[in-house]
Chains A and B, each alone.
Chain A
Amino acid sequence: MLNKVKLYFHQNTDSSSLSLFRFFFGFLMFFSIIRFVGKGWVEDFYINPNFHFSYYGFEWVTPLGDYTYLLFFICAISSLFVCVGFKYRFSIIVFFLSFTYIELMDKTYYLNHYYFVSILSFLLIFLPANSSFSIDNILSKKKYKTVPKWTVDCIKLLVSIIYIYAAIAKMNSDWLLHAQPLQTWIQTKHDFPIFGDTFFQQKWFYYFMSWAGLLYDLTIPFLLLYNKTRIFGFLLVILFHLLTVALFPIGMFPYIMIFCAIIFFSSQFHNRVINMLKLLVLRINKKIKFVNTNFKIMTLDKFEYSYRRLVISIVFLFFVVQILFPFRYLLYPGELFWHEQGYRFSWRVMLVEKIGLASFKIKDPDNGNEIREVVNSDFLTYYQEKQMSFQPDMILQYAHYLGDFYKNKDVDFDGIIDFGENIQVFVDCKVKLNGFRETQRLIDPNINLYTQKESFKNKTWILPLNDEIKGF
């Protein structure tokens, strides 16, 4: 057994797989960032809001004012460098750091696929993805025919983890027995061509989509792994993700997943695509005479790590964390979908439909002054308020922000401080989970949130859901 493992780590595979993946990844990331900036979201999400919801432990990660654009610029340039394989190791580290910094600035905009990009780019730091088909080859005058097989397999493993964990997350009574939230989402897409006023209005269709979605997530890694089912699996990947594009405002995620599935193809296929791309580049170069192509590159047989053991240990540790981390919700009592403690970073994609309304009260017990209801739009953008209204950790952070804002403040400009040191902040928060359930209070309205501290401990001031969701 141990021998087999040792042997496995000495196996090699064609370097084209990693190189093509690097090329696509860099290209897609560059496109994503341009799209993000082009939509004006840097301004809307990071520069205009007065307040940002930070991650616990990363409070120091904040937007940089107008320099936030510089951050996006660095991120875009580094992704382009990754794409063409220019100073690859340095570029992918810069990309990982800048992209992760961007995602950590405000958790309002958390998306699973941003997290995926972060951890994937972290993994890519340790993989020799510039072994071939890269500018680095020209600079160093050498390229590698093969790379260790595990370096390709670990990308497949990461993609598989995402699908399988997404499947596990769907194994619950709301998804399978109530067909929620899919019913809520699909039913109102009446304007969808052809299906909108036919299938989308049929009860069986919501159940079919729910169960098919689960089955899809569960089987797709295996369909992609085996030669015989690969084409079928890949067609399913395209079909499924295009369907999500058509139905939901899901951004770049479907495209990223479609391109990631290409890693499962054979290295011969990757080679052919690379040769095609090379031909294209050479042809363009011939026309515009951009560079002199009379350079010599030495082809070495296989890429060897200088610190092989260290790298393998880091990657191993990375996957241990990836496999365990999504299950951290088991450490918290109550319904995960309700309290959301351990919800993020766990591949719970398009899983629940929640809307909340949170109204905050500011009180000074010493002089009896109170503001019965804070106007949230004075402090938050619409999107921030919407996201905050059903997520306890954001509610707590905002409550502290309000407390800090009103403490020692003369609100009505009469020259007297209205709220002193003992200021209290309460919230009345009503939330509806998955359509068919009654709206219910999320937070104990008698708890002074200003004295509650954020931590990884169970938040006892979250009221339990008056219902049970069975399953994972």
Chain B
Amino acid sequence: MSIRNIFILLLITFSFYSCDDNSDPAPSNGDGFNRSALLENLSNNIIIPAYEEFYNSLILLEESANLFVNNPDVTNLESLSDVWLDSYKLWQHVEMFDIGLAEVINYKGKMNIYPTDIDLINNNILNGNYDLNNNNNFDARGFPAIDFMLHGLSENNETIVSIYINDYAYSDYLLSLINSMVYNTNLMIEDWSDYKIDFVNSSGNTATSSVNKITNDFIFYFEKGFRANKFGIPAGVFSIDPLPQNVEAFYKKNVSKELAQESLLACKSFFWGKHFNSDIYGPSLATYLDYLHTSSENNLTDIITEQFTEAENKINQLDNNFVFQIENNNNQMLVTYDAIQAMVVTFKVDVLQVLAISVDYVDADGD
């Protein structure tokens, strides 16, 4: 056996063993686009400020609820309802970040599953024996449950107030709902103070690296949380008949559009890297796409800008109350859905191809 042949065999053996590990290679940020800067911007200027602001709004909600429970009257109910809406709108800015601990504990599933199950809620109130952190209660908690507790117990506010006066179990449930939301959101804020470092450092291009995960989260939210939940399902896109009872904030009635607008705003801000509560823009998916995009004739981010505007315009034309809109002119709701669906195509086809993102949970050989 000559040295040459040994060398060849060694090479074969080496090649065989050296290549089956798919571990995350060390991050590098020296190319034309700095992904760590993108992740810094997303976490420092968008995600964490949004969480903090949202948490503050929940504290306000808690205070307002205590005030109402101790002095149940119509004025306090109405101001509680206002604080609830403010908080619900801020929620639209954090729902998409299903990453880190949020993903592990199914945070969004604890906050905003609708339609809410009023039988389950009534049952919980009657029994007084419930664990809101238990996933059996997934549709008896969060904002939709509070919506029912504040606006759905009766047609008029006086009766609702009297229910709270007559039976403290309702107050108890209301406070428990808010308490659980405060608790879980606090977990998020604590998690992000540690998680942020990992988030920014994981700047590679693997299924588990941050840019890929957060992009997938964003697109998933846009498709499911925004498109399907707020428009598609209630408008009956996935069923034979429309399901108006499935709109967001069904019991409050006239705010489903406002919440949807806020959600679209959150998506837009995320895509463009706009700092939360400020007009400053930083590195974002948009600037990354501009860096990578190769076509000369049409600019992908220009197309997305137009599509955002189109979707905004369509939503603005809808009635404040989506139930009313669906029952009276569902076609307009469907037209709006189509404008949003066009964006889903752009995100899932164009954006994902340009970013060449290894998508979550797909694990197979290619060729």
Contact = CB atoms under 8 A, between A and B. Distances in A.
Answer yes or no: are A and B bound together in one complex: yes
Interface stretch (A2-10, A304-312, A434-442): A434-442
A185 B22 CA distance: 17
B215 to A, nearest CB: 12
A439 B346 CA distance: 8
Contacts of A383: 362, 364
Interface in B1-56: 1, 4-5, 8-9, 11-12, 15-16, 18-19, 22, 24-33, 35
A355 B351 CA distance: 10
A418 B346 contact: no
Interface in A360-393: 369-375, 382-383, 386
A236 B154 CA distance: 78
Nearest to A36: B365
Please classify the interface of chain A as helix (H, G, I), strand (E, B), loop, or mixed, using the class held by over half of its residues: mixed
A353 B350 CA distance: 11
A93 B344 CA distance: 48
Contacts of B278: none
Contacts of A111: 365-367
Contact of B15 (A44, A113, A238, A371): A238
Contacts of B350: 432, 439
Interface of B, secondary structure class, is loop
Given A193-B25, A430-B345, A113 B239 contact: no
A78 B345 CA distance: 46
B294 A183 contact: yes
Given A192-B25, A196-B28, A242-B19, A248 B366 contact: yes
Contacts of A248: 366
Interface stretch (A48-56, A250-258, A314-322): A250-258
A431 B295 CA distance: 16
B241 A234 contact: no
A170 to B, nearest CB: 14
A190 B11 contact: no
A420 B273 CA distance: 50
A436 B297 CA distance: 9
B232 interface: yes
Interface in A25-45: 39, 41, 44-45
Contact of B292 (A187, A372, A411, A431): A187
Contacts of B29: 197
A246 B15 CA distance: 11
Contact of B353 (A41, A235, A276, A435): A435
B229 to A, nearest CB: 12
Interface string A422-447: 00000000111001111100000000
Contact of A246 (B5, B9, B19, B356): B19
A148 interface: no
A308 B236 CA distance: 68
Given A273-B9, A438-B298, A190 B31 contact: yes
A393 to B, nearest CB: 18
Interface in A151-206: 180, 183-185, 187-193, 196-198, 200-201
A357 B348 contact: yes
Interface in B121-161: none
A269 interface: yes
A436 B295 contact: yes
B365 A191 contact: no
Nearest to A430: B345
For chain B, the bracket of interface size reads 35 or more
A372 B298 CA distance: 30
Nearest to A35: B20
B25 A184 contact: no
A183 to B, nearest CB: 6
B167 interface: no
Contact of A191 (B5, B28, B357, B366): B28
Contacts of A323: none
Contact of B241 (A41, A190, A412): A412
Contacts of A113: 367
Interface in A102-135: 109, 111-113
B26 to A, nearest CB: 7
Contacts of A235: 11
Contact of B8 (A234, A353, A432, A439): A234
A297 interface: no
A403 interface: no
B43 to A, nearest CB: 19
B168 interface: no
Contacts of B11: 235, 238
Nearest to A249: B366
Contacts of B8: 231, 234
Q: Which 4 A-B pairs have the closest CB atoms?
A: A251-B365, A191-B204, A197-B31, A188-B356
24 contacts: A111-B366, A113-B367, A180-B294, A184-B356, A190-B35, A191-B26, A191-B27, A191-B206, A196-B31, A201-B32, A238-B12, A249-B22, A254-B19, A259-B12, A269-B5, A272-B1, A273-B9, A357-B345, A382-B362, A383-B364, A411-B239, A411-B240, A432-B350, A435-B295
Interface of B: 1, 4-5, 8-9, 11-12, 15-16, 18-19, 22, 24-33, 35, 203-206, 209, 232, 236-241, 292, 294-295, 297-298, 334, 341, 344-346, 348-350, 352-359, 361-367
Given A241-B15, A248-B366, 8 more contacts: A188-B292, A192-B25, A193-B26, A235-B11, A254-B19, A355-B349, A373-B232, A411-B240
